Structure formats: structure tokens, C-alpha cells
Chains A and B, each alone.
Chain A
Amino acid sequence: MNFQKTLKATLLGASLAVIAATGASAKTLVYCSEGSPEGFDAALYTAGTTFDASSKPVYNRLVEFKRGSTEVLPGLAESWEVSDDGLEYTFNLRKGVKFHTTSFFTPTRDFNADDVLFSFERQLKKDNPWHEYTPGAAWEYFNGMSMPDLIKEIVKVDDYTVKFVLNRPEAPMIANLAMDFASILSAEYAAQLEAAGTKDQLNQEPVGTGPFAFVGYQKDAVIRYEAFADYWGGKQPIDSLVFAITPDAAVRLQKLKAGECHVMPYPAPADVADIREDSNLTLMEQEGLNVGYLAYNTKVAPFDKKEVRKALNHAINKQAILDSVFQGSGQAAKNPIPPTMWSYNDAVEDDDYNPDLAKEMLEAAGVSDLSMKIWAMPVQRPYNPNARRMAEVIQADFAKIGVNVEIVSYEWGEYLSRSKEVDRDGAVLLGWTGDNGDPDNFLAVLLGCDGVGGSNRAQWCNDEFEALIQKAKTVTSKAERTKLYEEAQVVFKEEAPWATIAHSVVFMPMSSKVTGYVMDPLGGHWFDGVDIAE
């Protein structure tokens, strides 16, 4: 015991000496992140972990999501105008915005229109010298959001005015420009790298206008940033930000408890109760911007009849799924968009759990001795933490109304690819997490006619629904769009191409000393405005 005390005292003494030697007065916030960034040029990637470490601390965009919301606010553009035909977006850029001065770059000018052009044209134009600056550069998000089809040209009107000309009206355009791939990089820094023949550095040592300047990255271990003193939004309350990469959830929690980090994402569901009881920790929670669903194949009999789909929806006991699969970290879904999203139609009534009614409806539809497959995903997702168990619960529910279910599964890549097939046999468990907070990003991507044979796993193409969501793309008034999406949700519920299952709840444990942290409904992790109480 004495030995233990002596050793502990020695080690503690050593730690304190180290802290004193390195200057403990500076406020450093340590975030135990769940994984390593793939790189620091966010436009090259699609993973949230990469965005957390690159676009969010280091860069800004023309427009930004308001902290803790999906509302879009001015960012590097102070204001913007949309032409009456919805084809021209003119942005008035903010003046006096500085790029980071780092050990590897000293800017000689402020942010201007050249930086906007550089940031987008490298993704848009195949002949741009930066289009393939690193092997495998595919600009996945830019392409995934159909930007090459959408953007006709980007024009520099003057140093502080930029115009985006579109090929067709696209109301979600502004929300798209708040996404990570639309981060604004320094054209001057890129020119310096190009002259030095070290273009790759753009993806390894980022320079932006954001609240934190990049200091260094030790692969798979630590990323360091310091607060940018000349940030246009004001200097941050903390002096340094450190990402300690810690892939295991149990270890992250131990580090948080030991005071080795201040904030951690993605706690293990089993630890949530324990965290809630710990007086040194704060547990924030928020509904995730996602939906988990069971998509019937509406092209294959008998699921082409809406009465059959509706009957099956009445047979699913969602509460049992929430209890056994989500263990309290989910809420039942009735619409295809989550309740935190604008235009969510709360007036829609869910198909209640009623096996007797379900049975009657099936009989009325002339269906008996039905056998079907349910596809269970092989991976965990926030919108479905355990697809196998979810499939088993539904299997038991369907058995009660005389429907025999066979559960099938494939390797994840196979699952994603086979589930797209139009003549697929069976209903698929899958889900979606929003990219930009726009309802179009759910309704058009997952249920639009263009998605049949692709991201529309129900293979559902309904004229009435399609007309509503297409119209909503072209009008710019939010009130009008809201009305259209609300109507679309009513059509969806009547037609029942999916059984909507659940939206997850996301937890964020942190030291109770941390103040000012706001959870992002889009699932990102932001540290601007965050402070540590003394």
C-alpha cells in the first residue's frame, strides 16, 4: 500500500511538473474523437469524422448552418440574392476576412472572390489543374449532390461579388452551399503549393478562415489546432483545441472520466445510464436527423397494393422495437423526415399497432398465406443499431397475422447494391442521415422517381408525390415549400411505401466544466463558442 502511495505521488508530481513546464494557463480543450480524418480537404471525402477535423474547425463556407440548427445564415457571404427565375444566385462577400497564418503559409491578402472560384472550379471543371491533384480525387459529395449537372458556371462579378448560374431552379442550393464540400480554401496558398510542386500538401496542411488554425497531425493519434486570433467571428474562448483519436467507446469514456479529455462522441448505449449518474459529467442529447425504415418493394406483388403495405404497417409494434433495439435512445417515426426538420407534418397520424385490424385488412386485400423476406443490414447505424434484432421483432409481429418471414442478410457492400434492384425479393431495412437539413435531401433522394433502381429502395414512383416534391425544388419561398412537403408527407402516409420505424437519439457526454457546447442536428461536432470553466 505504501509502495502504491509513493508511486502515485511520484507520478502525480511528474505530471504536475510537466503541466507547469508547458504552461497550463492556456485553455486547451481535448476532444476524444472516434476516428482519424482521411485528410483535411473536406471536398475529397464523405465521412463525418473527416469533416469534424477539417471543414468544421478550419474552414468557413459562403453560408453557414446556425449553431444547433439547420437554418442557414450568412457566412463568408454577407448576403445573397436569387433571381426571379431561380437560376442565378449572387453572393456579396464579406470584406476583411483573414486566412490563417501558420508555420507553412503567410497570407498576403484577405479572402476574396478568387478563393470562391478556386474552391468550386477545382471540383467542377475537369480541366482545372487541381481537379486531380491527388490520386483518386473524385469529389464525391459535389457529384453526389448533382452539382456538375446543376451548376452552369460560376462568375466573378468583382472581387467581392460572385454569381452562381444554374441549369435549372434548385431551391435547396443555399443549404447545399453550407455543406462541408463547399468549404472555402485559399487560392493564394494553393498557388504557393503549385509553384513548389507540393500540391498534396493542400490535403495535409489546411489553411482556411475558420475559428481554429491547423497546427499539426500525428497520424491516428493527435490533431492540434490553435484559436485563430484574427477570426472574423471573434477569437474563441479556448486557446487550443486537441483531437485525441480514441476509436474504442469504452476507452473514450475512461479518458473522459480520468480528465484526459473534455468531450467525447458516440458513447456505448450500455454506458449512457452510468454517464447520466456521474456528477462530473454532463450528458447532452438530441434527436438525430435520421430515419430508419422498412422499404417494401412496391413493384412486386402483393406489395404493389397499398392495402397490403398498410396492413403490414399496422402489424409492427414500434414500441417493442424502441425498447429492445434502441434501448431508450430512439423515438417512433411516423413521417419519412425527422421531427427536427422544417416542414415536418405533425398532423399526420401514424398507423397504430393493431394486429387484428392488420389481419382484417390483409384478408380484405385477398392476401392469405403470405411469405416474404426481410433484409437485415449487417452493420450498425445510428438509425438502426441492431438490424438483425429489429428484423426478428418484425418477424414475430408478422407471424401474429399469419405472415411468414424469412430474414436474409448480405455483406454491406452487397446489401447496398442488391437492395437497389427493381425486382428485388423482399422488404429492406435501411435508413438515412440528412446532409444539409433540407427536406428535399430526404424526400427526393429516398422517394423520388429518379431514385428508382437506386436510392429509392421502395422502388416507389407516385405521380402525386413526385409533382409535389418537384414543385418544391423550384419555388424559393420557404413557406410555400413547407406546404408542399407537408402535403407530400400526407401522400406518403396514405401510400405507405415504407414502414417508418424510428429516429435515433444522439448522446454527447462531456465534462461538466465544458460550457457553450451546442449539439448539431446534422451530427457534426463544432467547438467554436465552447469554453472550459476554471
Chain B
Amino acid sequence: MSVTAIDTADVRPRFTRRRSTRRAILIWSFLAPSLLIFLLYRILPLGWNLLLSFEAWSPLKPAVFIGFDNYQEMFWDDDVFWQALWNTLGIIASAPLGIAIALGLALLVNSDIRGRDVYRTLIFLSYPLMTVAVAIIWRWMFDERVGLINFVARSLHLADQPIPFLNSFTWALPCVIAANIWQMLGFYMIIILTGLQTIPGNLYEAAEIDGANSFRRFLRITLPLLRPSLFLCFVIGMLNSVTSFDLIYVMTNGGPGHATEILVTYIYKLAFNQTRFDYAAAITVVFFMLLLAVTWAANRLSGGNVGAVEHD
């Protein structure tokens, strides 16, 4: 439909004003398909979701407005929700651990050594892989009978009995977190590496002349200048790991009990296994608010640069 407008665009309009209106329409028509996708699958769902959370509705029943009943059930009567919330917060809190390891790695692969590209590639390799396959790999690593981790632990006499990692209430969540860090590590490293490469080298030379040792140089130059990169890692890592539905669905499916249930897996189960769309929508609202709050806090701490776009 926009094609006809474009084909006539090279007929010179008489007035610049008319030309600029036509140009604006043209540019908006270039944006339209993308905007439509985002409206349909980002903005509209957000509003619909909010509406749904105040209703009692299922696909076969008409919607009834029930105010805050869903929220009341969630906060006062639903232990699983609280468990899922705590687990979600636990996973968010684990992101800095991964970022700290990645910072160390980034410093190592940023040094002037032979084969650093090979190291970078190998460390990054796990990030673009299909998470479902990663989950199966780690299920196998943590396997109670012949998993490599149990095998090593038993060979080194760290454990007398095989540990049923993914069926244990204590171990299941840390195991999922470990698998998640393993997958995200390379991504964090690349982001931090990009940050490191923007730090001007002469800062270090000046500090060296002033007699600052390498630890002080790291503390006073590297760390402050990396702050935006580190918080960017945190925000992206948080979005990625909190939403790591695939990993948990395949590794433990929220079990044992609800030991590894996170908000997203709980929302999925409520909506698509129990057809409680209305209640799941209310939990989605809380989940989204939580992400916004953490992102906002990270943004403030980093000095407000995370996600900023260069305007011209």
C-alpha cells in the first residue's frame, strides 16, 4: 500500500511544506510494520494483562470485574507465589556473582597474550546455544547415578553417597543458578571487554608514572570507568536469568516441590496447565513491576546511563 506513495515521491512537489508532510508520512509508513508488531506483542499485552488481573475470567466464561481479589489471594493465601518470588529474587541476587567472574575473565583475555581470541571464543561459545539443550547437558552433569559432578565428588571422597542434586531441596536451586551462570558468563565477558577497550590507555600510563600499583590502578581507574558496563550486564543478565524459563522447565520443572519455581514457570503453569489466566495475569503484573523496580534501581546506581540511546 505504501509502494504507490513511494513511487510518486520523485514527482517534485511545488511547496516545501507539502513535500515535508509527504516525507513524514513516508517515514511513518516505514516505521509502521515494526510499530505494529511492538504494539501487538508488547504494548497491547501489557494493558490487557493489567485489565485481566482485575477480572475473573476463563476462556469459556464472561469476564467479571472483581477488583483486587486476585491480588489478595496472591499475597495472603498463596505460599507457592511467595516461594516463586523468593526464588526469583535469589536468581537476581546471583547475577553479580557471574558478573564478578566475568570481570576477572575479561581482564585476563584483555591482556596481551597469544591465543586470546581462541580463549574468548571458547568462553563465549555457550551463550548462543539453545537453552533447552543446555538444560539437558546440565541435567546429565548433575545426574545422581553417573553425572560427572557426582563422579568427581565421589572419586575425591568429597561425598560418600551420590547427591541427587536436582531432586534435593537444598541443591536444586544452586544447580540451576550454576547452569545459568555457565551460559551467561561469555556474554557478560564480551560486554565488559567492550567497556574495557573504551578506557584510554594513557590513564594507566599516567597512574603508573605517579607510582600507583596495579591493584590501585584497577580500583581507581578500571572499576569506576567500567561502572556502566557492569550495570548493563546486571540489567541484561537479570532479564535473561529471571526469565530463564527454558532452563528450569527442562532441568527441574520447578521441582522438587516448588524448590526451583520462579515467577515465570508459575505463571506458565497457572495459565496453560490450569487455565487460570486471570490469576496468572495478576502474578505477571507483580513480576513485571519487580523487573522494573530492579532495573530502575540498577539504573540509578550506575549513574543513569544504562540503556541510554545517543540522540542526534
Partners in one complex: no
Chain A interface (Cβ < 8 Å from any Cβ of B): none
Chain B interface (Cβ < 8 Å from any Cβ of A): none
